[in-house]
Structure 1
Amino acid sequence: MFPQVLATVGGSGTRLYPLTLDQPKPLVELCDTAIIANLFRVLASQGCRRFILGSKGACNTLNLSNYFKAGEGFFKRLGITDHQDFSYQPLYDDKGSADSLRYCMSYFDIKDDLLVVSGDNLIDIDINSFVDFHRKHQPLLTVALKELGPEESISQYGVARLDEDMRIQGFVEKPKAGSEPSRMINTAFYLFSPRIREVLADMGDRARDIGGDLIPYLTENGYPVYG
């Protein structure tokens, strides 16, 4: 069974003004299709059927619910009949992606692995391989990483330091050029074990952003995180 998907949708998208003045960044269209619809198409075409939109604020939630409704039109266009309705994070002004994760896992009582993606992400990934890797190693979290070329700026990314077993031993969010521990960057594509609920409860308000707060906390405190 494929894991349920939580897409985090927050922030004002100021770098895409004026395209985001009246809509969240994930609804900006590329080739006549919203970014988030392209993302969901990749996931649904590989077996994902249950989606939660973790949107911050009433405006984001309204725009997304107007676009997707319950998801029936989206699945119908893909020829998928064995699906569940889309769910939406209740009106909650979360403090970031980790806070949205904590809230949604509690509200929807999620007790299985959960795939968490950034709603403005464009990614093409083999979900089967990703899920198999996660279930083989049984970590608290598996992060999809990408090696960044030497000519590209790394200062806008989270960067992981891996050991020979692909376990993440260290993680730095947006390091200064030349101080990065590797060229392996965070793609904001995660698979969490349900045990993360306990950690998030313990962290409380300290868990706001997944990359900025949660991953560094996990690696610094010896929790198993793989990439």
Structure 2
Amino acid sequence: MPPPVIATVGGGGTRLYPLTLCQPKPLVEVCDTAIIAVLFRILAIQGCRRFILGSKGFENTLALSNYFKAGEGFFKRLGIDDHEEFSYQPQYEDHGSADSLRYCMRYFSIDEDVLVVSGDNLIDIDLEDFIAYHRRRNPILTVALKELPREESISQYGVAELESDMRIRRFVEKPKAGTEPSRMINTAFYIFSPEIRDVLAEMGDKSRDIGGDLIPYLTENGYDVCGYPLRGYWIDIGTPERLLQATMNVLSGNVRHFTFRHPYRENQWIHPSTLKRIG
């Protein structure tokens, strides 16, 4: 059984304006499904059964809980009966993704490996292989890394500086073109070992953001942090342009595990009302 999933969904989504003026960024739709529901679906069909939403603020939590409720409908549409109810972070004003992780692990008594995902990424990953890699290497943290093609700008990402065995020495945030230590970028898809609870307690208020605070602390203090080379699809849906790109990728059949709620054939999606009129 895969470990529980904590989704960090506390951001304001300002780069996606105006699409996020009246809804949280994870609920913006790719084709006919909210971004975060697409991600959860990909994880659920590969065995994940416990989902915790680390949402920040009353409005975000209310919108997400109205969408998923306890998760019965989500799992029923996938034909899954053996699941736990969705959980939501209590109204705690966290200071970032690492702070949310610390709070949720303690509040929900998680003392095992935990998957931590970002609520605005679309990723297609072989979860069994990812988990097996982590347990074989046994680091405190394994980060899914995506090799960015040469033609894409790397300046907006955290880039991993790697040892020959895929151990992460550090992340270089938003390097200028030509100065990056590799083309392997942080996808914000992680698996943490249970020891991370002690590290987060040790860091206290210094633990705010996973990429900005927690990972540098781990690498600088000698903790084993490994990179996992992601071979499947990944995109950070941070702007309307990236949302359009993700939508076109889905419609072109480039994202495995994506199932449409409405009739679809390759390279074409038809709204049900249009299909009805045609019929």
- TM superposition score category, shorter chain reference: over 0.9
Deviation of 1:149 after TM superposition, in Å, equals 1.3
One-letter amino acid of the structure 2 residue matched with residue 73 of structure 1:
G
Match of 2:150 in 1: 150
Q: Using the alignment, how far apart are the partners of 2:180 and 2:145 within structure 1? A: 14
Q: Using the alignment, how far apart are the partners of 1:170 and 1:20 within structure 2? A: 33
Deviations 1:35-91 (A, max 9, x none): 000000000000000000000111110000000000000000000001000000001
Q: Using the alignment, how far apart are the partners of 2:226 and 2:144 within structure 1? A: 9
- 1:26 maps onto 2:21 in alignment: no
1:200-215 superposed matches below 5 A: 200-215=200-215
One-letter amino acid of the structure 2 residue matched with residue 122 of structure 1:
L
One-letter amino acid of the structure 1 residue matched with residue 164 of structure 2:
E
Match of 1:87 in 2: 87
Match of 1:116 in 2: 116
Deviation of 1:156 after TM superposition, in Å, equals 1.2
Q: Please list every run of at least 4 consecutive aligned residues from structure 1 whose deviation after the TM superposition is greater than 4 angstroms.
A: none
TM-score w.r.t. length of structure 2 = 0.80
Match of 1:5 in 2: 5
Q: Using the alignment, how far apart are the partners of 1:93 and 1:174 within structure 2? A: 27
Deviations 1:186-215 (A, max 9, x none): 000000001001111111111111111111
One-letter amino acid of the structure 2 residue matched with residue 71 of structure 1:
G
Q: Using the alignment, how far apart are the partners of 2:191 and 2:148 within structure 1? A: 21
Match of 2:15 in 1: 15
Secondary structure of residue in 2 paired with 1:144:
strand
Match of 2:216 in 1: 216
Q: Using the alignment, how far apart are the partners of 1:66 and 1:164 within structure 2? A: 46
Deviation of 1:179 after TM superposition, in Å, equals 2.4
**Contact 1:171–1:219, Cα closer than 8 Å, also in 2:** no
Q: Using the alignment, how far apart are the partners of 2:211 and 2:170 within structure 1? A: 12
Q: Using the alignment, how far apart are the partners of 1:7 and 1:175 within structure 2? A: 27
Q: Using the alignment, how far apart are the partners of 1:180 and 1:108 within structure 2? A: 39
Aligned residues: 227
Secondary structure of residue in 2 paired with 1:79:
coil
One-letter amino acid of the structure 1 residue matched with residue 109 of structure 2:
D
Deviation of 1:13 after TM superposition, in Å, equals 0.7
Q: Using the alignment, how far apart are the partners of 1:220 and 1:35 within structure 2? A: 34
Match of 2:185 in 1: 185
One-letter amino acid of the structure 2 residue matched with residue 146 of structure 1:
K
Q: CA RMSD in A?
A: 0.8
Q: Using the alignment, how far apart are the partners of 2:172 and 2:216 within structure 1? A: 7
Secondary structure of residue in 1 paired with 2:42:
helix
Match of 1:199 in 2: 199
One-letter amino acid of the structure 2 residue matched with residue 32 of structure 1:
D
Deviations 1:172-196 (A, max 9, x none): 2222333221110000000000100
One-letter amino acid of the structure 1 residue matched with residue 94 of structure 2:
D
Secondary structure of residue in 2 paired with 1:122:
strand
Sequence identity percentage: 78
Deviation of 1:21 after TM superposition, in Å, equals 0.6
Q: Using the alignment, how far apart are the partners of 1:179 and 1:202 within structure 2? A: 33
Deviation of 1:93 after TM superposition, in Å, equals 1.3
Match of 1:129 in 2: 129
Deviation of 1:113 after TM superposition, in Å, equals 0.1
- 1:63 maps onto 2:63 in alignment: yes
One-letter amino acid of the structure 2 residue matched with residue 54 of structure 1:
G
- 1:175 maps onto 2:175 in alignment: yes
**Contact 1:54–1:100, Cα closer than 8 Å, also in 2:** yes
Q: Using the alignment, how far apart are the partners of 1:65 and 1:46 within structure 2? A: 23
TM-score w.r.t. length of structure 1 = 0.98
Match of 2:274 in 1: none
Match of 2:78 in 1: 78
Q: Using the alignment, how far apart are the partners of 1:180 and 1:96 within structure 2? A: 26
Of structures 1 and 2, the larger Rg is shown by 2
Match of 1:106 in 2: 106
